[in-house]
Chains A and B, each alone.
Chain A
Amino acid sequence: MKQYDKLIFEHSKKGRTGYSLPENKLPEYSFKAIPVALQRSLETGLPEVSEPEVVRHYTNISNRNFGLDTGFYPLGSCTMKYNPKINEEIAALPAFSSLHPLQPAETAQGALEVYYNLSQSLAEIAGLAAFTLNPFAGAHGELAGLMIMKQYHMKRGDLKRTKVIVPNTAHGTNPASAMVCGMDVVEVQSTPEGTIDVEALKPLLDETIAGIMMTNPNTLGIFETEILEIAGLVHAAGGLLYYDGANLNPLLGQCRPGDMGFDIMHINLHKTFSTPHGGGGPGSGPVGVAQRLVEYLPNPQIKKEGDRYFFVDGKDAIGSVSGFAGNFGVMMRAYTYILSLGKENLRQVGELATLSANYIKESLKEYYELPIKGICKHEFVFDGLADKSTGVTTLDIAKRLLDHGYHAPTIYFPMLFHQSIMIEPTETESLETIDEFIAVMKKIAIEAIEDPQTVKTAPHTTPVRRLDETTAARKPILRYVDLLNDTPES
Chain B
Amino acid sequence: MSTIVKGLYYAESHEWVKVEGEFGFVGITDFAQHALGNVVYVDLPEVDDDVAQGDEFGAVESVKAASDLISPVSGTVVEVNEKLNDKPQLINEDAFGNWIMKVKLSDPRELKELMDSEAYEAICE
Contacts and interface: CB of A to CB of B under 8 A. Distances in A.
Interface of A: 412, 469-470, 473-474
A418 to B, nearest CB: 12
A474 B63 CA distance: 9
Nearest to A473: B40
B13 interface: no
A184 to B, nearest CB: 15
Nearest to B61: A473
B38 interface: yes
B29 to A, nearest CB: 21
A412 B41 CA distance: 22
B43 to A, nearest CB: 13
Contacts, number: 14
Interface string B24-43: 00000000000000101100
User: Which interface class (under 10, 10 to 19, 20 to 34, 35 or more) fits B?
Assistant: under 10
Interface string B14-57: 00000000000000000000000010110000000000000000
B88 interface: yes
B89 interface: yes
14 contacts: A412-B64, A469-B63, A470-B38, A470-B40, A470-B63, A473-B40, A473-B41, A473-B61, A473-B62, A473-B63, A474-B40, A474-B41, A474-B88, A474-B89
Contacts of A412: 64
A473 B61 CA distance: 9
Contacts of A474: 40-41, 88-89
B38 to A, nearest CB: 4
A32 B62 CA distance: 51
A474 B89 CA distance: 9
Contacts of B89: 474
A470 B40 CA distance: 6
Most chain B C-beta atoms within 10 Å of own C-beta, residue among A412, A469, A470: A470
A394 to B, nearest CB: 12
Contacts of A470: 38, 40, 63
B62 to A, nearest CB: 8
A470 B88 CA distance: 11
A470 B62 CA distance: 8
Contacts of B38: 470
A473 B36 CA distance: 14
Nearest to B40: A473
Nearest to A412: B64
Nearest to A395: B64
A212 B41 CA distance: 34
A474 B91 CA distance: 13
Interchain residue pairs A-B with the least CB separation, the first 9: A473-B40, A470-B38, A469-B63, A474-B40, A473-B63, A470-B63, A470-B40, A474-B88, A473-B41
Most chain A C-beta atoms within 10 Å of own C-beta, residue among B38, B41, B62: B38
Contacts of B41: 473-474
Contacts of A469: 63
Given A412-B64, A470-B40, A474-B41, 11 more contacts: A469-B63, A470-B38, A470-B63, A473-B40, A473-B41, A473-B61, A473-B62, A473-B63, A474-B40, A474-B88, A474-B89
Most chain B C-beta atoms within 10 Å of own C-beta, residue among A412, A469, A474: A474
A412 B40 CA distance: 20
A473 B60 CA distance: 12
Nearest to B89: A474
Contacts of B63: 469-470, 473
Contacts of B88: 474
A271 to B, nearest CB: 24
A412 B62 CA distance: 15
A353 to B, nearest CB: 29
Nearest to A470: B38
A412 B63 CA distance: 14
A185 to B, nearest CB: 15
B34 to A, nearest CB: 15
A347 to B, nearest CB: 40
Contacts of A473: 40-41, 61-63
A474 B86 CA distance: 8
A74 B89 CA distance: 36
Most chain A C-beta atoms within 10 Å of own C-beta, residue among B41, B63, B64, B88: B63
A474 B41 CA distance: 6
B98 to A, nearest CB: 15
A222 to B, nearest CB: 25
Contacts of B64: 412
B54 to A, nearest CB: 18
B37 to A, nearest CB: 8
B57 to A, nearest CB: 20
A167 B8 CA distance: 38
A469 B41 CA distance: 13
